[in-house]
Structure 1
Amino acid sequence: MSIVVPVYQGERTLRALIDEILPLTSRTYSPSGRPLVVEEVLLVFDHGPDGSADVIRELVSDHSFVRGVWLSRNFGQHPATLAGMASSGGEWIVTMDEDGQHDPADIGGLLDTALDRQSSVVYAKPTNAAPHGLWRNAASRGSKWLIATAMGADSTVSYQSYRLVLGEVGRSVAAYAGSEAYLDVALGWIAGEVTTSPVELREEHGRRSGYNVRTLLSHFWRMVLSSGTKGLRLVSFIGVAFAILGLVLVLWVLASYLLFDVGTEVQGWASTMVILLFGFGATLFSLGVVAEYVGVNVKTAMGKPPYLIVADPADGPLGRTATRPEPPEHTTPT
């Protein structure tokens, strides 16, 4: 197995995570008695604001199974995960967070589920509420429900960053996924059987989540755009709905004029303005959705990479910070 950990704020949590993984680097057994060995742990440095880079270097020096994967800049969790997948060599790839929520001891259960159900992708399915705030949990459930109902995703599978992926599937996705692709949607394009396995989430170890409202909304919107042309179909649905509404209003106005005595006074300015505002709002929303799809295709056509792996900056030209010593001052002999 290869374990891929995207690292953004792991200065205080990575050492404990590696200590928990360490027993799995020798031959161990899953709950059903299947042998497994973690051959490598890939720590993908995503240019976070703390001292994660130095911790990664120390762990690489201390453990032969730990490898550092260095990105040229901050790309985000999903691109960093793809970079780790592309660099892996295991028959299976496990992806997990850096913050201690995911217990490495559950990996054996994920493997049993994959082999019992012949699944190429297994997501961890939390048996308890995520250790986040009420609003974030509600937003997460709401977004997943919206994807499942409006976008046609599988409602029985809950996307999680703790997942087990068949190695050849994960590396193939990392090779062709575009810069705007949502990782789990891209996995669904080629994975065979996708299922879940129960796990219990733990509290984050002494740090707050790196996600805020803006990044969560961006995460959700990328999921929508990656799920195919269903967003464009929604635009068509809005157009048809407003066309039908307009026809109904026209028929109502004609019926009022022909069948009822409405007098000569001009009425209805407020309702007219409301209709115009709703109509223009729907039009602008539809144009915005279309523009997002055009933007995704433009970035893909221009060759924007989802990630770029580089050497450890400390070992290359950026690490050569020492300056040439000043020559000694010449003194006149006396």
Structure 2
Amino acid sequence: MHTVSVVIPVYRGYDTLAGLVAEMEPLFDGAETAEGHRFEIHEVLLVHDCGPDRSPEVMRRLAEKYDRVRPVWLSRNFGQHAATLAGMASSGGDWIVTLDEDGQHDPAAIPRFLDVAMREQAALVYARPTNAAPHGALRNAASRSAKWVFEHLLRGGDLSRFQSYRLVLGEVGRSVAAYAGAGVFLDVAIGWVNDRTAVCDVELRAEGGRPSGYSTRSLLSHFWRMVLSSGTRGLRLVSMTGAMFAVLGVLLSAYVVVGRLTGGTQQPGWTSVMVVVLMASGLVLFSLGVVAEYVGVAVNMAMGRPPFLITADLAAGPLGRPPASRRS
């Protein structure tokens, strides 16, 4: 019997969590995949990422209703990847399934994930959507472009498979949660220790009418964290760009010298000088900014900044105690 821990980061799940957990209930007491593998959902870990709605109320009700549901409380909002890592660290199943709270990931696909993992002996299985994600054309195009940049310019390999709906071997997921530092992109961290990856075709559903927890700023931050986590390829690109500008400067100087020696007309002008100065200074400042970001990541890790902090339910602790006049 394979045991599966389901990890769900919760930010705005007030309207969708109950229905999502109800869909998993038939798998709590065991089931069999199409290829004959017995499994059960051993636990459902709802990781509260301190969102703006009343998700804690639903989480407490679900924990009372289902003995397989276990809330995990974070001290503040750390983001989806950190919340997922916290859930992985708290899990105990043979396998870990991570999925979103909004209902677009169908839990009925979990048996197919397990079949793919066993058939291909893969420690990590990503969902491969058979339809466009329900985010709108602009966001989907931006996501594809970001993955193309990451795949072709920063690391190489097929990174288009990165999805938040995934099945990962339990010991791999828990190990990654133990060593991943603050700001590390989850899928990149898993890739550091695992090269046995497969995909499973899954149809994405609508998001249940809830607003997205990602703003344009947070999506850009998400992409930038992926770039910084990929290694030093970004620094190499900065060095290559600097070298290209240096070569361009030498060629431009040679052109000016040859023009002077051959008596060609050279019209000095402040416009061209200012263009070159602005381009060069802009490149220098951009390069310094990239280097500073890498230094910042290293400093956070050296200072021991945690990627997440698990606490008790605030409502069950000192902060949730009512005044004595209200207890009676």
Q: TM-score range by the shorter chain?
A: over 0.9
Q: 1:49 aligns with which of 52, 65, 77?
A: 52
Q: Secondary structure at the match of 1:37?
A: strand
- AA aligned to 2:143 is S
Aligned to 1:297: 298
Moved over 6 A (4+): none
| Aligned residue in 2 for 1:228 | 231
Q: Match for residue 271 of structure 1?
A: 272
Alignment of 1:163-242 (within 5 A): 163-242=166-245
Per the alignment, residue 331 of structure 1 pairs with none
Paired letter, 2:204 = L
Aligned to 2:9, what secondary structure does the other structure show?
Answer: strand
| 2:79 aligned residue | 76
CA contact (8 A) 1:4 1:95 kept: yes
SS in 1 for 2:101: coil
**Do the aligned partners of 1:157 and 1:196 also contact (CA within 8 Å) in 2?**
no
1: CA distance between counterparts of 2:244 and 2:234?
15
TM-score normalised by the chain length of structure 1:
0.94
Within 5 Å, give how 1:11-22 maps onto structure 2.
11-22=14-25
**Letter matched to residue 282 of structure 2:** G
> Which residue identity lines up with residue 34 of structure 1 in the other structure?
H
1:67 aligns with 70
Contact 1:144 1:158 in 2 (8 A): no
Question: 1: CA distance between counterparts of 2:23 and 2:157?
Answer: 33
State whether residues 102 and 201 of structure 1, in contact with CA within 8 Å, keep that contact through their aligned partners in structure 2.
yes
Q: Is 1:325 aligned with 2:290?
A: no
- CA–CA distance in structure 2, aligned partners of residues 104 and 151 of structure 1: 33
SS at match of 2:304: coil
How large is the Cα RMSD of the aligned pairs?
1.2
Q: Judge which range, 154-163 or 76-85, deviates more.
A: 154-163
Give the corresponding residue for 2:288: 287
Identity of aligned residues (%): 58
Alpha-carbon offset, residue 153 of structure 1: 3.5
Contact preservation (8 Å) 1:45, 1:70: yes
Partner of 2:309: 308
- The Cα offsets for residues 244-267 of structure 1, whole Å up to 9 and x where unpaired, read as 11011011111111123326xx52
Q: Which residue of 2 aligns with 1:153?
A: 156
Displacement, 1:238?
1.1
Alignment: residue pair count: 323
1:119 to 115, 118, 122: 122
Paired residues of 1:123 and 1:163 also in contact (CA < 8 A): yes
Structure 1 residues 75-84 or 205-214, which shifts more?
A: 205-214
1:253 is paired with a residue of what secondary structure? helix
The offset of 1:291, in angstroms, is: 0.2
Deviations 1:158-179 (A, max 9, x none): 2100000000000000011001
Q: Work out whether 1:259 is the aligned partner of 2:259.
A: no
Residue 244 of structure 1: which of 228, 244, 247 is its match? 247
CA offset digits 1:27-70 (Å, max 9, x no partner):
21222222111110000001110000010000000000000000
Distance in 2 between residues matched to 1:307 and 1:91, nearest whole Å: 23
The one-letter code matched in structure 2 to 1:18 is V
Give SS of 1:209's match. Answer: coil
What residue is the counterpart of 1:85 in the other structure? 88
Q: Distance in 2 between matches of 1:84 and 1:153?
A: 29
> Within 2, Cα distance between the matches of 1:148 and 1:180?
20
Larger Rg: 1
CA-to-partner distance for each residue in 1:7-31, whole Å, 9 max, x for gaps? 0000000000001011111221222
For residues 55-98 of structure 1, the C-alpha deviation after alignment (integer angstroms, 9 at most, x for no partner) is 00000000000000000111000000000000000000000000
The DSSP-based 3-state class of the residue aligned with 2:324 is coil
Aligned to 2:108: 105
Q: Which blocks of at least 5 consecutive residues in structure 2 are unaligned?
A: none
TM-score of the pair, normalised by structure 2? 0.96
* Post-superposition offset of 1:116: 1.2
Q: Which amino acid aligns with 1:295?
A: G
The 2-side partners of 1:256 and 1:59 are apart by: 79
Q: Distance in 1 between matches of 2:260 and 2:300?
A: 53
- Give the distance between the partners of 2:106 and 2:260, measured in 1 at CA: 71
Q: Structure 1 residue 157: deviation in Å?
A: 4.7
Structure 1, unaligned stretches of length 5 or more?
Answer: 327-334
Superposed CA deviations along residues 134-182 of structure 1, whole A, max 9, x for unmatched, are: 1101110000000000112322652100000000000000011001111
